[in-house]
Amino acid sequence: MQYTPVLPQNKRGSQRGRRSADPVRFVLIVGVLGALILTGAYFYVDALSRRSVAQAAPSEVTSSSFSVLNARRTPATLSTTSRVGTVRRALTSVAGRLPSGACLRVDWLGTTLSSVRGDVSLIPASASKITTAAVALEVLGAEYTFDTQVFADPISPTGVTQNLYVLGGGDPLLVTTNYTALERYPTINGTSLDTLVGSIANAGVRQISGSIVVIDSRYDQQRFVDQWPSSFYGVEAGPLGALMFNDVVITGESLKPDDPGLGAGQELAILLGQRGISVSSNPQRGTTVPTSATKIASITSAPLTAVLQEMLVNSDNNTAELLVKELGFVKKGTGSTSAGLEVINETVKAWGTAVPTVVDGSGLSSANSATCDFFMGILDRNKETFPSLLAIAGQTGTLKTSFNDSPVEDRLVAKTGTLTGVKALVGYLPLDSEEDVKFSLVINASGIDNQSSYRPIWNALGEALNRARATPRPEQLTP
């Protein structure tokens, strides 16, 4: 038998041999498959892209011209931060000038920028009138008025009447033109006594055969506040009553009478005499108007806001004290200082704030005390009303000679306060189309009421507050 021997084979060689067994066919198959795959992929991608474009068509994507952190995105925030910081830093210098017996509070844009012993009670002097004004506005109302009425017994055809009756209604601003011309701070928004006298003449009265009878029973007979130094009596305020003409100053007299009502009757007789109307006897007191008498004249004061403006701009002590009595008359039925103070305390307590020590309406007593925080609360409660009622720096009232030629002249408005060893300034710095800067400053220190002591502090405060105007606004931070 013949056989052929089997030799070992190279496996790699064997594999190469099979791949290359029919190269043409292999290439054709691969080419066809590749074409099919590419064609399918093309149609799939094309369809997908058409659907995506159709869905995206309604909206257009644009790129921002400025970065996410650019100042144009947050100008208001940056402005507020910058401005508050600038004013706060300036106030640090003011705080460094204050003696230990002083408090300072400054608020702006909802932030307390400075608070130096803001909760410490100090003597506020006439800054107390801020409290009187705030309570009067709330209790009496902005449109509240005071009426003064004149009645007469039957008038004969020749113009003779026996008595003239003048009923006081608590108006603190009954003044003549001649009197205001002599005042250090001329009365503003006064009730014209000249007009009232003219109305009496126009009623046909030519002679009063009896007396001018004054009736001022609306208020009590307490002419001064017990806590005042006697040196203040008739000088700084009073004597007080429901019928007062020209702050109880009598034409041609160097001293005020003890009784303001009789003083009003005396002054009225002089004014009537100047119009040719004679009065036979001295003025007398009465309690009620006889039913047989007829009203022949009356005059109404300006609204309460105007009366408050006189009190705050000129620091009118008589007006403040009569308002306290009026509060007592309206709310307690008793026109007394004590009744009025009860109303003030009750009203302030209802505000939810710490009640200050209030012993009068004018702030003449050094027994009054309040904190800068308390005044800030009042400023905030009355921010829509008070700015127009206060003295203007370098222009009016008790601020007429302060802040002259400073950056806050004709802008800063405030209530001042002055006693021996006391100086206060409470008010606002209005800004165009923005929230006012509110501030309260009370200083108790020996000699602080001297200009050389308080004015450097006031001027520094004004300069610091003015930084609120100078710092950048949102539009200035926008590229």
Per-residue pLDDT of the chain (479 residues; tens, 9 = 90+): 433 333 333 333 333 333 334 444 444 444 445 545 544 544 443 444 444 434 433 334 344 444 444 544 455 555 678 889 999 999 999 999 999 999 999 999 999 999 999 999 999 999 999 999 999 999 999 999 999 999 999 999 999 999 999 999 999 999 999 999 999 999 999 999 999 999 999 999 999 999 999 999 999 999 999 999 999 999 999 999 999 999 999 999 999 999 999 999 999 999 999 999 999 999 999 999 999 999 999 999 999 999 999 999 999 999 999 999 999 999 999 999 999 999 999 999 999 988 899 999 999 999 999 999 999 999 999 999 999 999 999 999 999 999 999 999 999 999 999 999 999 999 999 998 889 999 999 999 999 999 999 999 999 999 999 999 865 555 555 55
Same domain, 243 and 378: no
b/e per residue, 55-81, with b = 16+ CB within 10 A? eeeeeeeeeeeeeeeeeeeebeebbbe
Tell me, yes or no, if the pTM score tops 0.85. no
Length of the chain: 479
The reply to whether 51 falls in a domain is no
Lookup result for tokens 């009063």: 208
Give per-residue pLDDT as tens, 156-191. Answer: 999 999 999 999 999 999 999 999 999 999 999 999
Q: Which residues contact 330 (CB under 8 A, 6 or more apart)?
A: 139, 140
Per-residue pLDDT, 51: 42
Same domain, 346 and 213: no
Same domain, 406 and 442: yes
CA dihedral 222, 330, 149, 303 (to 10 degrees): 110
Round to whole Å and give the CA distance between 177 and 73: 60
The reply to whether 227 falls in a domain is yes
- Whole domain around residue 200: which residue ranges? 147-302
Same domain, 89 and 161: no
Same domain, 172 and 133: no
- Among candidate residues 276, 302, 328, the one where a domain is terminated: 302
The reply to whether 464 falls in a domain is yes
Round to whole Å and give the CA distance between 283 and 261: 9
Same domain, 265 and 316: no
Report the share of the chain in percent with pLDDT over 70: 81
Supply the CATH number for residue 178's domain. 3.50.80.20
Same domain, 239 and 316: no
CA dihedral 426, 428, 429, 430 (to 10 degrees): -160
Q: Count the neighbouring beta carbons within 10 Å of the beta carbon of residue 167.
A: 23
Q: How many domains is the chain partitioned into structurally? A: 2
The reply to whether 422 falls in a domain is yes
Same domain, 314 and 374: yes
Per-residue pLDDT, 433: 81
The answer to whether 438 and 379 have CB atoms below 8 angstroms apart is: yes
Per-residue pLDDT, 475: 57
Same domain, 368 and 455: yes
Supply the CATH number for residue 133's domain. 3.40.710.10
Same domain, 337 and 455: yes
Same domain, 346 and 437: yes
Q: What is the 3-state secondary structure (H, E, C) of the chain?
A: CCCCCCCCCCHHHHHHHHHCCCHHHHHHHHHHHHHHHHHHHHHHHHHHHHHHHHHHCCCCCCCCCCCCCCHHHCHHHHHHHHHHHHHHHHHHHHHHHCCCCEEEEEEECCEEEEEECCCCCECCHHHHHHHHHHHHHHHHCCCCCCEEEEEECCCCCCCEECCEEEECCCCCCEECHHHHCCCCCCCCCCEEHHHHHHHHHHCCCCEECCCEEEECCCCCCCCCCCCCCHHHECCCECCCCCCCCHHHCCCCCCCCCCCHHHHHHHHHHHHHHCCCCEECCCCEECCCCCCCCEEEEEEECCCHHHHHHHHHHCCCHHHHHHHHHHHHHHHHCCCCHHHHHHHHHHHHHHCCCCCCECCCCCCCCCCCEECHHHHHHHHHHCCCCHHHHCEECCCCHHHCCCCCCCCCCCCCEEEEEEECCEEEEEEEEEECCEEEEEEEEEEECCCCCCHHHHHHHHHHHHHHHHHHHHCCCHHHHCC
The reply to whether 94 falls in a domain is yes
The reply to whether 87 falls in a domain is yes
- Among candidate residues 249, 269, 302, the one where a domain is terminated: 302
Per-residue pLDDT, 229: 98
Same domain, 296 and 313: no
- Among candidate residues 302, 320, 336, the one where a domain is terminated: 302
The reply to whether 397 falls in a domain is yes
The reply to whether 235 falls in a domain is yes
